Structure 1
Amino acid sequence: MSSSPGLLQPNTRFRDRYRVLRVIKSGGMGAVYEVLDEVTATPRALKVMLPSLLDSEELRARFALEARVTGSIESDHIVRTSDAGIDEATGTPFLVMELLRGEELGSLIKKRGALPPEDVALYLFQASLALDKTHAAGIIHRDLKPDNLFVTVRDDGSPCVKILDFGIAKVIEQHHASTLTRQMIGTPVYMSPEQIRAERNVGPRADIHGLGHVAYTLLVGETYWAEQAESIPSPYLLAAELLRGPQEPPSVRAARRRSATLPKEFDAWFFRATALKPDDRFERASAAIDALAAAFGVPLPRVPRIVLLPDRPPPPAGPSPTAPTQPSQAVQAAGFADVPTVTVPELVKTPVSRHSLRPHPAPSPLPPSRPESSRPEIPPEPSRPELSQRAPLSGVAPSRTTPSLGEPSRPSLGEPSRRPGPEPTSRRERPPQRRFQVRADTTTGVLHVKVWGFWDVDEGRAYLDDFRSKASTLLGLGKPWYVLADIADFPPQRPDVSPYVEQTMAFAAGNGMRRAANLVNSALSKMQISRLSAAMGLPEYSFFTTEADALAWLFKG
């Protein structure tokens, strides 16, 4: 057997038990195969992952715990795991699962367009039953999207939805948290605000938020955020928009963009499901889908419901059975591909194709509120999280400090001797990465800054030191100095990195910087720049799309 998880050949055996039949899916983190369990003569799906994904004892322990806990939950709507572990010979993590025949909902809507409400309600109702059980066990999926909902068919011909990717994405998220990438990890257009802010304690209601956006996508044929994802080129700017939460009623947006008709009752449901504050969302997944069915007046099957304890996030430390954020799913068998970037699925504008479903007796629905305003009445609107000032700098000290994305609190600024952010528990002796450039032009007095990609703590520290050093060169000239910051490719940073960026602002503001300009992507419209400046608390006139315009403003004001 090859030691590479991407190179298992047909007719080879894995762990002396599973004969490889074919490759189902391969990607940057591993591969999925159809195999034959020679002990039981049963076709299975074998998922193998890169050994580097679990390069510590803590991650290996978490992986084993995830597989055990998820495998112990009995549900028709969760892919069953029959075997899992670490292959001793190669160090390869693996999962053996039931082999599915069918199609992902993401693939289905690309082919057929929007789905009828009765289908959407039934599919999400089945998914909600699984989520109620996993949430009761302390497991959060964290990456609900149409590509992670797989539709198969029972023996009686009725559809059966299974949720993919329980049990591994959390450990993959932990792996990516310690590596650098220039792309946002996960599926941002379905992420809850607390996930975008990278909060430590993400609770079950993050999945409720995901269900809300999945429902819109299935009903309309594109994500709610498709317009922003198409027009905003920077992950940072997209995250800033997502953190504001939905503003336009979904019925209005669906009609404007796709000529789709959604009832006003859906607006109230959607705004509650995707509320910025977790406590303002539905308490349980099944309660959310009950309300969705009532909004459309479609029936759902009668089934007993489990009762959950009050919603609370999982404990912050130690191996905990929280589930995945990252992987992308495709084809039959819970396969994963490369981690997705900030893009929306390819959209196919085909006519709605209705599926024939057997009618089910309806429960007594709770009538939704019918507000007269364009935006439905919902619980008091959650406070909107403010956005971080990253590399952008203002020539005038801001009247308020704006916390960084994902940062619960801000350290005091302007103390050159302080090292912000937690020290890594174990740091390798290696030079820091340099995804930044700082250059002092002594002729013009401009400090040119370009920042991009995701940083670790070492790189944040190196940036702060380099900024101070180069700025000191200009300070020694005894004349006005300026900052020109290119932030077009600088996405949200980890909470332990953000303070280093913020200290550059404090240093500049406290050491005579006259003015600062920010370069953003040339594809941004004036409206988008206006939104960005308002969200960040910076003057709109400090944002430019060309260096010439920025320099002219710096010197002339």
Structure 2
Amino acid sequence: MAADPHTLRSLSMEPQSTIAQDRVGALLNGRYELLRLVGAGGMGAVYEARNTWTGRRVAIKVLHPAFAQNEEVLARFFREAQAATRIAHPSIVEVLDLGQDGADGVYYIVQEFLEGRDLRAEMDEVGAMSPRRAVELMAPVMAALAAAHAKGVVHRDIKPENIFIAHGPDGAVTPKLIDFGISKMVDLEPDLLRRTTPGTTLGTPYYMSPEQCRGDAGLDGRSDVWGVGAVLYEMLSGSLAFEAPNYNSLIVKIVTSAPAPLAERAPEVPAELAAIVHRALTASLDARLPSMEAFLEALRRYPLDRPSAPPMPCVPARRRAVVPAVAGLGVACALLLALASRGSAVHSAPAPVARPAATRVEVIAPAAVETVPASAVAAPPRAIARPRRVAAPRTAVRPASRVELAPPVVAPPPLERSANGALILPP
């Protein structure tokens, strides 16, 4: 019997947690003991269970009894088990059994039990991911989808909730694609293909391709390319590729517009990677990445190990010789500055030379004569004040000469006194 859309909506919206919880502890088909309820939805429930014959821990998806006579729902339920078995990929959850309970007639799928959490929970915790992390998580899923497409299976419901990040006993992480419930086997008989009526939309709206939103017939792997692009967009930016206040507005937006550039939502995402994601989200099928293999290959070519722009090297600025602009700077100060600027290490100042308090040092400069107290020569000052310019005595004026800085030495040479009591500076 065909499914009535109104009945499907009302049943899927009906809370099933109470009914599902009542099954905990039951023995399904005389073999599977239901240990605990993992999750419940409108279509059924998932349990952690144990195969009492082998002792293996498994996950069992039980279809709600209300759908036991619904041909369309049953076809989708069987298709999920058949599709996963048909592909047999390490990044697709393994289906172990499919059956019907002999006691109350409910249908069930037995799958491998996975430890971990889905991608939605991961994204809710960490927010936007680095390009490396996003690609590492999605590449195995894309390889699984490529294998599915090669077997004629289109998933049609790519979303973070259907990507499970499984943790193995050894700590290895294996992303796995789950829930092929609305997958489409493109080589099935025409009567089975007609179970999905053209003009109906199947999938999660935020990740549906434009052709899915329009209800087009003849969907192929490029719809999954779009779905993966929408998930990668959200992983990299922390934002949905398309948002709208209601379902109808969202459908119109997906069909008629392009997503906001990743450069605006996540400027740190490299332009090359953003371009790959946007090509997957191209509305035109002809312009979109042609296959999941092409999408995966484009990501593999992207240099994830390429280092980002290195920071500027932290090299100490080279010390430059400072030549004071003020003419007539005291030679004792200039000598000390020269020693410091050329990297000479002066561990201690020379011992002060006893001088009469009135003794002054005469310094000959091109434009003026400057005098500083001799006591200033005894030790290097902590701060160099701007020298005071005074008129030069006529007797002290000599032809202008260039003051040359002495080569670096450990300590200044001793100063000698002239006959008139002035200090004689070294040449």
| 2:209–2:223 Cα contact (<8 Å) kept | yes
In structure 1, give the amino acid aligned to 2:210.
Answer: P
Per-residue CA deviations over 1:35-79 (Å, capped at 9, x if unaligned) read 100111101101111234453446535543542242132211000
Equivalent position SS for 2:220: coil
| 2:282–2:288 Cα contact (<8 Å) kept | yes
Once the two structures are TM-superposed, the CA of residue 168 in structure 1 deviates from its matched residue by 5.2
Once the two structures are TM-superposed, the CA of residue 127 in structure 1 deviates from its matched residue by 0.5
In structure 1, give the amino acid aligned to 2:233.
Answer: Y
| 1:67–1:84 Cα contact (<8 Å) kept | yes
Within-5 A mapping of 1:215-364: 215-225=232-242, 228-229=243-244, 233-255=245-267, 261-295=268-302, 297-298=303-304
Once the two structures are TM-superposed, the CA of residue 245 in structure 1 deviates from its matched residue by 3.4
Once the two structures are TM-superposed, the CA of residue 208 in structure 1 deviates from its matched residue by 0.4
| 1:104–1:147 Cα contact (<8 Å) kept | yes
Per-residue CA deviations over 1:282-317 (Å, capped at 9, x if unaligned) read 23324313313434x2159xxxxxxxxxxxxxxxxx
> Residues 241, 292 of structure 1: CA spacing in aligned structure 2 closer, same or farther, 3 A cutoff?
same
Within-5 A mapping of 1:145-184: 145-167=159-181
In structure 2, the partner of 1:303 is none
1:195 matched to 2:212? The reply is yes
Per-residue CA deviations over 1:57-108 (Å, capped at 9, x if unaligned) read 4653554354224213221100001111333543422111001001111101
| 1:190–1:210 Cα contact (<8 Å) kept | yes
Per-residue CA deviations over 1:428-473 (Å, capped at 9, x if unaligned) read xxxxxxxxxxxxxxxxxxxxxxxxxxxxxxxxxxxxxxxxxxxxxx
For residues 28 and 41 of structure 1, the distance between their equivalents in structure 2, rounded to whole angstroms, comes to 30
> Residues 143, 62 of structure 1: CA spacing in aligned structure 2 closer, same or farther, 3 A cutoff?
closer
Equivalent position SS for 1:224: coil
For residues 108 and 183 of structure 2, the distance between their equivalents in structure 1, rounded to whole angstroms, comes to 13
Equivalent position SS for 2:153: coil
2:44 to 30, 55, 65: 30
Once the two structures are TM-superposed, the CA of residue 197 in structure 1 deviates from its matched residue by 0.7
Within-5 A mapping of 1:349-388: none
Within-5 A mapping of 1:125-164: 125-164=139-178
For residues 245 and 271 of structure 1, the distance between their equivalents in structure 2, rounded to whole angstroms, comes to 12
In structure 1, give the amino acid aligned to 2:111.
Answer: M
For residues 115 and 54 of structure 2, the distance between their equivalents in structure 1, rounded to whole angstroms, comes to 19
1:207 matched to 2:231? The reply is no
| 2:83–2:180 Cα contact (<8 Å) kept | no
Within-5 A mapping of 1:388-467: none
| 1:48–1:93 Cα contact (<8 Å) kept | yes
Per-residue CA deviations over 1:107-129 (Å, capped at 9, x if unaligned) read 01111111221111111110011
> Residues 239, 58 of structure 1: CA spacing in aligned structure 2 closer, same or farther, 3 A cutoff?
closer
Q: Which runs of 4+ in 1 moved over 6 A?
A: 173-178
**Pair member with larger Rg:** 2
Equivalent position SS for 2:134: helix
Once the two structures are TM-superposed, the CA of residue 268 in structure 1 deviates from its matched residue by 2.1
TM-score for the superposition, normalised by structure 2: 0.60
In structure 2, give the amino acid aligned to 1:41.
Answer: G
Once the two structures are TM-superposed, the CA of residue 205 in structure 1 deviates from its matched residue by 0.8
> Residues 51, 198 of structure 1: CA spacing in aligned structure 2 closer, same or farther, 3 A cutoff?
farther
For residues 103 and 182 of structure 2, the distance between their equivalents in structure 1, rounded to whole angstroms, comes to 21
Within-5 A mapping of 1:22-61: 22-53=36-67, 55-57=69-71, 60-61=74-75
Once the two structures are TM-superposed, the CA of residue 174 in structure 1 deviates from its matched residue by 9.3
In structure 1, give the amino acid aligned to 2:258.
Answer: P
In structure 2, give the amino acid aligned to 1:113.
Answer: G
Deviates more, 1:75-84 or 1:51-60: 51-60
> Residues 65, 262 of structure 1: CA spacing in aligned structure 2 closer, same or farther, 3 A cutoff?
closer
| 1:79–1:97 Cα contact (<8 Å) kept | yes
In structure 1, give the amino acid aligned to 2:20.
Answer: G
| 1:73–1:133 Cα contact (<8 Å) kept | yes
For residues 223 and 46 of structure 1, the distance between their equivalents in structure 2, rounded to whole angstroms, comes to 31
> Residues 64, 236 of structure 1: CA spacing in aligned structure 2 closer, same or farther, 3 A cutoff?
closer
| 2:20–2:37 Cα contact (<8 Å) kept | no
In structure 2, give the amino acid aligned to 1:213.
Answer: A
In structure 2, the partner of 1:434 is none
| 1:8–1:20 Cα contact (<8 Å) kept | no
Once the two structures are TM-superposed, the CA of residue 160 in structure 1 deviates from its matched residue by 0.7
For residues 247 and 68 of structure 1, the distance between their equivalents in structure 2, rounded to whole angstroms, comes to 35
Equivalent position SS for 1:238: helix
For residues 280 and 246 of structure 1, the distance between their equivalents in structure 2, rounded to whole angstroms, comes to 13
For residues 68 and 262 of structure 2, the distance between their equivalents in structure 1, rounded to whole angstroms, comes to 41
For residues 138 and 174 of structure 1, the distance between their equivalents in structure 2, rounded to whole angstroms, comes to 16
Equivalent position SS for 1:292: helix
Per-residue CA deviations over 1:217-266 (Å, capped at 9, x if unaligned) read 111222122xx33xxx33222211111232532212334xxxxx112213
In structure 2, the partner of 1:9 is 23
In structure 1, the partner of 2:116 is 102
Equivalent position SS for 2:154: coil
5+ residue gaps, structure 2, are 1-15, 186-192, 307-427
> Residues 133, 299 of structure 1: CA spacing in aligned structure 2 closer, same or farther, 3 A cutoff?
farther
Percent identity, aligned pairs only, is 33
| 2:59–2:110 Cα contact (<8 Å) kept | yes
In structure 1, give the amino acid aligned to 2:241.
Answer: Y
Once the two structures are TM-superposed, the CA of residue 213 in structure 1 deviates from its matched residue by 0.9
In structure 2, give the amino acid aligned to 1:43.
Answer: R
State the Cα RMSD in Å.
Answer: 3.0
For residues 157 and 147 of structure 2, the distance between their equivalents in structure 1, rounded to whole angstroms, comes to 17
Higher relative contact order (CA 8 A, sep 6+): 1
1:92 matched to 2:106? The reply is yes
